[in-house]
Amino acid sequence: MRSGEELDGFEGEASSTSMISGASSPYQPTTEPILALIAFICIETIMECSPCEGLYFFEFVSCSAFVVTGVLLILFSLNLHVRIPQINWNLTDLVNTGLSTFFFFIASIVLAALNHKTGAEIAAVIFGFLATAVYAVNTFLAVQKWRVSVHQQSTSDYIRARTESRDVDGRPEIQRLDT
């Protein structure tokens, strides 16, 4: 059994919820890009459309979500995110999942309203809503992870500030005033 600290994930450990957290979940971090890819493949099999705007929008959303989430997955899986500490990776994951949820939801509704009831369009709509649900769960988990990291950051900043304010030996200007 793992302790509470171990449940937060090891440095660079592959996640099973939000790509950078270590909590358990019924889906793996590869679920999102796979669903986005399947939705993209379904939409690409459609040969003709009359009002094509909904189809093109869904195609753009599914391809973009697949590429961006896939790149983030590779960064996290290979621990490359550790080499770029200037980026807030919790916030990056939150923004990616939040925007993907929103745009997949809109694109799925638009495609559901404008499709011609072909098998590929129905499958694309179904996978679009599945991807929306998975991204929504991950957005919720990413919000929780982001809140914890913000709280930990503010606590460590407070502790560091308090420690520095008590450190008189390292500040010669304070010593001169005391003499």
Per-residue pLDDT of 104-155, as tens digits, reads 999 999 999 988 888 888 999 999 999 999 999 999 999 998 888 888 877 7
pTM, to two decimals: 0.69
Place of tokens 């404008």: 114
Question: How high is the pLDDT of residue 139?
Answer: 94
Which residues neighbour 79 within 8 Å (Cβ) at sequence distance 6 or greater?
A: 11, 12
Q: What is the mean pLDDT of residues 59-73?
A: 93
pLDDT tens digits along 90-106 = 899 899 999 999 999 99
Rounded CA gap, 49 and 29, in Å? Answer: 33
